[in-house]
């Protein structure tokens, strides 16, 4: 049995990344990581995994069966644990627990410390109330001293683990999510805005934000441990490193990212339940939840329009290397803000683009298209992509940008069949997606994104060969996967039709 070498993903606090990188992790993935570790512990996944190197590895299916849990959910946890280096996988996709993690979790004292941390997730989600009241919050008829818990986690020098590895694990398990929630809260309650406006005393900050001074003191002291603020002679100010990250556009961007993270908090806290039973706490397949989420999400997508427009343009230029786009009929399915279709519309003055999405989402697309002066060539097509008939041999290019990951895996073959039918004989399908590597153990950001898709009753992320396999089944026998800066581009077509072999320069 050949085991891959151990790869550790550096902790924000352990390998001195820049403050900007740390802030990025705290705002997004830190709470995902804590939820992953908590769910793995409470489901008994760590205990069920065979210990390397003595026990024989187990498949995802065998482990899911042993836990009485969903295979997809168990896989979503395992692939992340593998990427983090806590779990190993052999060539037959059998999993074992790393011996050092096994030893750590066998320590009864450490295990008890982790268990004691678990119930704090939901009370921590009410840090805003604790700050407003300056005291404990009531959850399930119990009183939870959330501010006291923050003090214990971050400010109590006596609470240190026995080894660097234990400290590292505990930090990811407990403090990661606590950092995300703290940032969500100070963003939402205007503390970051107030600090950006200039140095001030605690009393003045309390007056501006209408929050408890005692609560603010704890929060600021925790923020000081993160290198975000500092105190001098009773006056609190952003640190020189933090100021450019917490002002103006950078602050607005961060607060938006935090607001997205906050929408997953409840579901992350109950991840074990979802992995066990596929009961989805934030169920985006529920029409009402989906309408609300995506109506809100399209504003988020609009906010990152410029970045995605650049990706779209790169894809257009890449395709234009092998086929002209004059008079091309393009269909953008799951268009969101319209950004990918708009990139095609801007390719030539004669390219015609059809924008397909739920009607509530399409309402916001026109403004973006007008701004780019391509609205007059736009056709809007509202519908449900799970059942819609896109026609026969109607389009030169069909784009599926960032949409497959929201679909349950069983709906992909049917969608691909309808898309293939709607493509002209020499038509090209263009998929922009987070494509996993062939071992399905990275990239890390993609895996966290995939975990959230599972949690919300949406799709699975696939590798390039998994996509190629599905596309071959509907006659799109040729495909290439090209890396864009933050995601991947898959181009697929019928045999004999040229495809680009590299991204446009």
- Does position 459 bind ligand SAM by CB under 6 A? no
Smaller CB distance to ligand SAM: residue 202 or 360?
Answer: 360
Alpha-helix residue ranges (DSSP H) falling in 245-304: 248-263, 265-269, 271-277, 287-303
Adjacent-strand bridge partners of 382 = 357
- Does position 406 bind ligand SAM by CB under 6 A? yes
- Does position 456 bind ligand SAM by CB under 6 A? no
Q: How far is the CB of 259 from ligand SAM (least distance, A)?
A: 16
DSSP string, 414-439: HHHHHHHHHEEEEEEEEEEE-PBPTT
* Single residue of 386, 391, 483, 486 touching ligand SAM by CB under 6 A: 386
Alpha-helix residue ranges (DSSP H) falling in 158-212: 164-170, 176-188, 191-196, 202-209
Q: How far is the CB of 294 from ligand SAM (least distance, A)?
A: 4
Stretch that binds ligand SAM, among 107-115, 158-166, 231-239, 396-404 (CB under 6 A): 396-404
Q: How far is the CB of 298 from ligand SAM (least distance, A)?
A: 6
Residues 6 or more apart in contact with residue 110 via CB below 8 angstroms: 104, 161, 162, 166, 170
What is the DSSP secondary structure assignment for residue 200, as one 8-state letter? E
CA distance 195 to 216: 12
Stretch that binds ligand SAM, among 71-79, 137-145, 318-326, 397-405 (CB under 6 A): 397-405
CA distance 259 to 319: 36
- Does position 401 bind ligand SAM by CB under 6 A? yes
- Does position 294 bind ligand SAM by CB under 6 A? yes
Q: How far is the CB of 287 from ligand SAM (least distance, A)?
A: 9
Q: How far is the CB of 491 from ligand SAM (least distance, A)?
A: 16
Q: How far is the CB of 360 from ligand SAM (least distance, A)?
A: 8
- Does position 261 bind ligand SAM by CB under 6 A? no
Please name which of 117, 118, 119 lies closest in space to residue 140, comparing C-alpha atoms. Answer: 119
- Does position 301 bind ligand SAM by CB under 6 A? yes
Q: How far is the CB of 29 from ligand SAM (least distance, A)?
A: 18
For residue 297, give both structure tokens. Answer: 């999400």
Smaller CB distance to ligand SAM: residue 169 or 340?
Answer: 340
Stretch that binds ligand SAM, among 33-41, 156-164, 224-232, 378-386 (CB under 6 A): 378-386
- CB contact at 8 A, 463 and 284: no
Residues 6 or more apart in contact with residue 308 via CB below 8 angstroms: 301, 337, 339, 340, 401
- Does position 166 bind ligand SAM by CB under 6 A? no
Smaller CB distance to ligand SAM: residue 70 or 300?
Answer: 300
Q: How far is the CB of 325 from ligand SAM (least distance, A)?
A: 19
How many residues bind ligand SAM (CB under 6 A)? The answer is 20
Q: How far is the CB of 426 from ligand SAM (least distance, A)?
A: 24
- Does position 385 bind ligand SAM by CB under 6 A? yes
Q: How far is the CB of 493 from ligand SAM (least distance, A)?
A: 21
Numbers of helices and strands, H then E, in the chain: 26, 14
Q: Distance of CA 336 to CAs 137, 140, 288, 360, Å? A: 39, 39, 17, 10
CA distance 405 to 462: 9
CA distance 23 to 17: 10
Instruction: Map the footprint of ligand SAM across residues 476-495, applying CB under 6 A.
Output: none
Cis peptide bond upstream of 161, omega within 30? no
For residue 298, give both structure tokens. Answer: 């399209």
Instruction: Map the footprint of ligand SAM across residues 315-374, applying CB under 6 A.
Output: 334-337, 339-340, 357-358, 361
Backbone angles phi, psi at 305, to 5 degrees: -55, -50
For residue 107, give both structure tokens. Answer: 């320590």
Smaller CB distance to ligand SAM: residue 69 or 407?
Answer: 407
Sign of the torsion formed by the C-alpha atoms of 238, 239, 240 and 245? negative
Alpha-helix residue ranges (DSSP H) falling in 52-197: 60-67, 71-84, 99-106, 108-117, 121-124, 127-133, 146-150, 164-170, 176-188, 191-196
Q: Distance of CA 199 to CAs 232, 238, 339, 391, 405, Å? A: 10, 7, 40, 62, 44
CA distance 63 to 465: 25
Question: Whose CB is nearest to ligand SAM?
Answer: 336
Smaller CB distance to ligand SAM: residue 221 or 363?
Answer: 363
Smaller CB distance to ligand SAM: residue 178 or 385?
Answer: 385
- Does position 384 bind ligand SAM by CB under 6 A? yes
Q: How far is the CB of 352 from ligand SAM (least distance, A)?
A: 18
Smaller CB distance to ligand SAM: residue 131 or 365?
Answer: 365
Smaller CB distance to ligand SAM: residue 212 or 368?
Answer: 368
Smaller CB distance to ligand SAM: residue 222 or 339?
Answer: 339
Stretch that binds ligand SAM, among 191-199, 270-278, 384-392, 478-486 (CB under 6 A): 384-392
Smaller CB distance to ligand SAM: residue 213 or 260?
Answer: 260
Q: How far is the CB of 413 from ligand SAM (least distance, A)?
A: 16
- Does position 308 bind ligand SAM by CB under 6 A? yes
Q: Distance of CA 246 to CAs 23, 95, 182, 203, 466, Å? A: 10, 42, 15, 21, 41
CB atoms within 10 A of CB 249: 7
Kindly list the residues in this chain that would bind ligand SAM in the complex (CB under 6 A): 294, 298, 301, 308, 334-337, 339-340, 357-358, 361, 384-386, 401-403, 406
């Amino acid at each position: 049995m050949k085991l891959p070498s151990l790869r550790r993903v550096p902790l924000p606090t352990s390998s001195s990344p820049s403050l900007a990188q740390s802030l990025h992790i705290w705002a997004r993935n830190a709470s995902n990581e804590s939820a992953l570790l908590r769910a793995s512990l409470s489901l008994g996944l760590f205990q069920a995994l065979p210990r390397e190197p003595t026990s024989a590895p187990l498949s995802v299916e065998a482990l899911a069966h042993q836990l009485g849990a969903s295979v997809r959910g168990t896989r979503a946890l395992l692939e992340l644990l593998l990427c983090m280096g806590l779990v190993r996988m052999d060539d037959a996709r059998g999993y074992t627990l790393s011996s050092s993690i096994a030893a750590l979790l066998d320590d009864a004292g450490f295990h008890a410390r982790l268990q004691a941390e678990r119930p704090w997730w939901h009370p921590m989600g009410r840090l805003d109330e604790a700050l407003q009241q300056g005291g404990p919050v009531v959850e399930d008829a119990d009183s939870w001293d959330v501010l006291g818990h923050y003090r214990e986690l971050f400010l109590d020098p006596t609470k240190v683990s026995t080894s660097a590895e234990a400290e590292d694990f505990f930090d990811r398990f407990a403090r990661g999510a606590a950092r995300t929630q703290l940032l969500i809260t100070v963003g939402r309650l205007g503390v970051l805005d107030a600090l950006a406006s200039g140095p001030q005393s605690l009393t003045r900050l309390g007056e501006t934000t209408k929050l408890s001074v005692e609560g603010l003191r704890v929060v600021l002291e925790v923020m000081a441990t993160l290198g975000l603020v500092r105190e001098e002679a009773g006056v609190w100010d952003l640190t020189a490193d933090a100021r450019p990250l917490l002002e103006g556009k950078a602050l607005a961007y961060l607060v938006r990212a935090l607001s997205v993270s906050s929408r997953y908090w409840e579901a992350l806290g109950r991840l074990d339940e979802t992995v066990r039973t596929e009961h989805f706490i934030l169920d985006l397949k529920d029409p009402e939840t989906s309408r609300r989420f995506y109506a809100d999400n399209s504003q988020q997508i609009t906010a990152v329009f410029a970045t995605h427009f650049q990706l779209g343009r790169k894809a257009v230029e890449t395709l234009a290397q092998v086929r002209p786009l004059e008079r091309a009929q393009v269909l953008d399915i799951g268009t969101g803000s319209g950004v990918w279709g708009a990139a095609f519309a801007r390719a030539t003055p004669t390219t015609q683009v059809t924008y397909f999405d739920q009607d509530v989402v399409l309402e916001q697309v026109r403004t973006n298209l007008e701004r780019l002066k391509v609205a007059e060539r736009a056709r809007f097509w509202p519908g449900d992509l799970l059942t819609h008939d896109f026609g026969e041999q109607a389009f030169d290019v069909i784009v599926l940008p960032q949409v497959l990951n929201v679909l349950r895996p069983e709906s992909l073959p049917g969608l691909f069949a309808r898309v293939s039918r709607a493509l002209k004989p020499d038509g090209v399908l263009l998929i922009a997606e987070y494509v996993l590597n062939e071992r399905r153990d990275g990239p890390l950001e993609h895996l966290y994104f995939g975990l959230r898709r599972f949690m919300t009753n949406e799709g699975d992320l696939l590798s390039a060969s998994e996509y190629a396999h599905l596309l071959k089944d509907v006659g799109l026998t040729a495909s290439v996967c090209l890396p864009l800066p933050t995601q991947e581009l898959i181009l697929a077509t019928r045999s004999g039709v040229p495809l680009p072999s590299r991204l446009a320069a």
